[in-house]
Amino acid sequence: MGPSAIRQRVAEYYAGKLHEHGPTPRGVDWNSAHSQALRFRKLLQIREGEPSFSINDYGCGYGALAAHLAAEGARFTYCGFDIAEAMVTCARERHAQIPECSFVSEEGQLGLADYTVASGIFNVKLDTTDEAWHTCVLDTLERLAALSRHGFAFNALTLYSDPGKRRADLYYMDPREIFDHCKRTFSPLVALLHDYPLFEFTVLVRKTEIS
């Protein structure tokens, strides 16, 4: 199965979740609003408290991150991208009132931003082989880096989760391996966050040079 076919199947999966659960955390396959917000807080550590910034949300779903940023009073320019057209349509309808906020369904419509974040996009592989999915992950990280002026952040399910509770349709990543890949490929400034109570981890990659 090629990358285009994989992306189409994943898009159909998430469109189905949105249809079933609506614009809620379960509509993007999260268990709760609490866990969704915790993921946002971890990812947004990439901005280091900057009062004003631009951000790409790669795999934006129904735009919950835009609402999260607006609620905390951040000054930001936001562009959300999702491969599921239904998600983009929903996001536009829900967040039309947020200034400097846009949503696109074509990756080529994303521009360079200070930061790019991706929450949950590496989790659902369906019946794609681990090898093919891993290749997709590495290719996507290249795109996240290219879209980011100062850094990017992403999360993934951890290989340290209980083997007996893992699902065959989900992808569990080795945090050591992906940390090493990011250090060697993108920047010497990489943080691995694996200290919060979810079966996942977050990686922050900063493009600032070491002085």
For every residue of 135-179, DSSP letters joined together read: HHHHHHHHHHHHTEEEEEEEEEEETTS-GGG--TTB-EE-HHHHH
Q: Report H helices in the chain.
A: 3-21, 33-43, 64-71, 85-94, 130-146, 175-185
Measured in whole angstroms, the distance separating CA 25 from the mean position of its chain's CA atoms is 14
Cβ atoms of residues 79 and 103 within 8 Å = yes
Structure tokens at 23: 């614009």
CB neighbourhood size of 207 (10 A):
15
Half-sphere exposure of 63 (CA within 13 A, CB side): 26
Half-sphere exposure of 139 (CA within 13 A, CB side): 10
pLDDT of residue 89: 95
- Backbone torsions φ then ψ of 171, nearest 5 degrees: -110, 125
Distance CA 101, CA 182 (A): 29
pLDDT of residue 209: 59
pLDDT of residue 5: 79
Mean pLDDT by 10 residues, the chain (211 residues): 76 80 78 90 92 96 95 95 94 94 96 97 94 96 97 97 92 98 97 96 86 44
What are the angstrom distances between the C-alpha of 135 and each of 3, 101, 140? 9, 31, 9
* Fold assignment, 3-206: Rossmann fold (3.40.50)
